[in-house]
Amino acid sequence: MIFVTGGAGYIGSHTVVELLNAGHEVTVFDNFCNSQPEVLRRVARITGKQANLVQGDLRDSAALLAALRASGAKAVIHFAGLKAVGESVQNPLAYYDNNVVGTVRLLETMNECGIKTLVFSSSATVYGDPQRLPLSEDHPLSTTNPYGQTKLVIEEMLRDLYRSDPAWRIGILRYFNPVGAHVSGLIGEDPLGTPNNLLPFVAQVAVGRREFLNVWGDDYATADGTGVRDYIHVVDLALGHLKALERLAHHAECRAINLGTGVGYSVLDMLRAFEQASGKRVPYQVGPRRSGDIAACYADPSQALALLGWRAERDLASMCADAWRWQSGNPNGYAQAT
């Protein structure tokens, strides 16, 4: 049994599918602050299996303790958190409270239950503005906004916890840019309001919900001047979590591992690939740089291959085709679900 915080969210729901498909039992703990219960009905349709659901907030220690105890879990995958960079600048305390305090409560509760295996969702944002590319795990860590700071604080807290008690088994997964959707088109990314991230915005332009894409700057030192990122298919990312759990079954450690493809694509590469996958034109306008953005960011994924036996398998065409299947089949996300 695996206990999955934030299991109704974008990456969590895709991971729950892969866990159920692999024969694990799953308990999802989620407060639905950025997701909807409908996603778990879709997960059940895809897998033919049902995850247990507990609606609750990480910071509610009593609810968390009851749920974790009742689950009989042997390990926790911790996705729950707030993730909007701009919002974190506006309201940093909400981010420290939800992400950092929420994680402290989770770790205390796990300790109380004697569960010491954890996979944590970190981010390439902890590398700050890259000093060298590709980014390997030993690159210096720094952050440029409160969201990133919460990830770094949690990483440091996990390293301290492991130093204090080496019975812990902790996998810190540093995600690059997750995109795409399950191949069924039944689950995918469903951002509230105007998407901050590139692919959901492009998909909403293609489906006619928005007029054009704003390209945030074309004067970076990259091949076409637009920002370059390491986009990774969300199903590949999900499978990385299963590999991390397998490793932790045999290793008591606290280790950070990149999950990326090692390949960078520009904004215009992504736009063209999406046009190809969707058969739709995606009009765009070049605007000024977005504050806080970096020119390029991509992973050295060799540790994931060496230590987890994992590598990303799905290419850019399938990222876009799967994102389009989800977006065109669910133009308003889960909201219009019956």
Question: Does residue 125 bind ligand UFG (CB under 6 A)?
Answer: yes
Q: How far is it, in rounded angstroms, from Cα 270 to Cα 267? A: 5
- Closer Cβ to ligand UFG, 58 or 126, answer by number: 126
Question: Does residue 123 bind ligand UFG (CB under 6 A)?
Answer: yes
Amino acid at 280: K
Residue list 64-83, contact with ligand NAD (CB under 6 A): 79-83
- Closer Cβ to ligand NAD, 205 or 259, answer by number: 259
Residue 18: CB minimum distance to ligand UFG, A? 21
Question: Does residue 102 bind ligand NAD (CB under 6 A)?
Answer: yes
267 binds, among ligand NAD, ligand UFG, none (CB under 5 to 8 A by kind): ligand UFG
Cβ–Cβ under 8 Å, residues 190 and 323 = no
Tell me the per-residue interface mask from 281 to 320 with ligand NAD, x by CB under 6 A, - otherwise.
----------------------------------------
Residue list 146-185, contact with ligand UFG (CB under 6 A): 175-177
- Closer Cβ to ligand NAD, 68 or 82, answer by number: 82
Residue list 180-239, contact with ligand UFG (CB under 6 A): 196-198, 201, 213-216, 227, 229
3-state secondary structure the chain: CEEEECCCCHHHHHHHHHHHHCCCCEEEEECCCCCCCHHHHHHHHHHCCCCEEEECCCCCHHHHHHHHHHHCCCEEEECCCCCCHHHHHHCHHHHHHHHHHHHHHHHHHHHHHCCCEEEEEEEHHHHCCCCCCCECCCCCCCCCCHHHHHHHHHHHHHHHHHHHCCCCEEEEEEECEEECCCCCCCCCCCCCCCCCCHHHHHHHHHCCCCCCEEEECCCCCCCCCCCEECEEEHHHHHHHHHHHHHHHCCCCCEEEEEECCCCCEEHHHHHHHHHHHHCCCCCEEEECCCCCCCCEECECCHHHHHHHCCCCCCCHHHHHHHHHHHHHHCCCHHHHCC
96 binds, among ligand UFG, ligand NAD, none (CB under 5 to 8 A by kind): none
Per the residue annotation, which of 10, 95, 147, 298 is the catalytic one? Answer: 147
Question: Does residue 327 bind ligand NAD (CB under 6 A)?
Answer: no
In DSSP terms, 263 is beta-bridged to none
Q: How far is it, in rounded angstroms, from Cα 73 to Cα 16? A: 14
Residue list 15-34, contact with ligand NAD (CB under 6 A): 30-34
Cβ–Cβ under 8 Å, residues 331 and 209 = yes
57 binds, among ligand UFG, ligand NAD, none (CB under 5 to 8 A by kind): ligand NAD
Q: How far is it, in rounded angstroms, from Cα 41 to Cα 230? A: 31
Active site residue 147: yes
- Closer Cβ to ligand NAD, 178 or 180, answer by number: 178
293 binds, among ligand UFG, ligand NAD, none (CB under 5 to 8 A by kind): ligand UFG
- Specify the stretch interacting with ligand NAD by CB under 6 A; choose among 170-178, 263-271, 286-294, 308-316: 170-178
- Closer Cβ to ligand UFG, 136 or 196, answer by number: 196
Residue 205: CB minimum distance to ligand UFG, A? 9
Question: Does residue 143 bind ligand NAD (CB under 6 A)?
Answer: no
Q: Which residues bind ligand NAD (CB under 6 A)?
A: 5-6, 8-12, 30-35, 57-59, 79-83, 98, 102, 121, 123, 175, 177-178
Q: Which residues bind ligand UFG (CB under 6 A)?
A: 83, 85, 123-125, 175-177, 196-198, 201, 213-216, 227, 229, 267, 290, 293
Catalytic residues, by residue number, are: 147
